[in-house]
Amino acid sequence: MRNHSMMLGWIQDISYGGFKVRVDIPLNFNDFFCTGDDILFETYVDFFKLKGKGNIRWASAEKDGIGIKFKEFDNGNKRFLDDFLKIFS
């Protein structure tokens, strides 16, 4: 990873392979996100706990977001994601 910044965003379009996260950044997107970079993610919502490591697949200032491909999950998080997606698919 290029830097160790923390950024807040909103998960959208989650699937078994990854998710889109919408971020509101007033600065140049390329200063923060680069395709191919590793990223750590963690949710902070009580009913949806997901933590792990991913890889930036795309970044778009026009879409206010980045696409994250899952690489690995912390303990139990893969199972949680599978159960969550079964309910909402």
Which domains are assigned to the chain?
10-88 (2.40.10.220)
User: With 50 as the cut, is the pLDDT of residue 1 above it?
Assistant: no
C-alpha–C-alpha distance, residues 57 and 3, integer Å? 17
Write 78-81 long-range contacts (CB < 8 A, 24+): 80/49, 80/50, 81/14, 81/16, 81/50
pLDDT digits (tens, 9 = 90+) for 9-41: 889 899 999 999 998 765 566 677 788 999 999
- Contact predicate 58/35, CB 8 Å: yes
pLDDT recorded at residue 75: 83
pLDDT digits (tens, 9 = 90+) for 40-82: 998 887 778 889 999 999 988 787 789 999 999 988 889 989 9
- Structure pTM? 0.81
C-alpha–C-alpha distance, residues 40 and 3, integer Å? 11
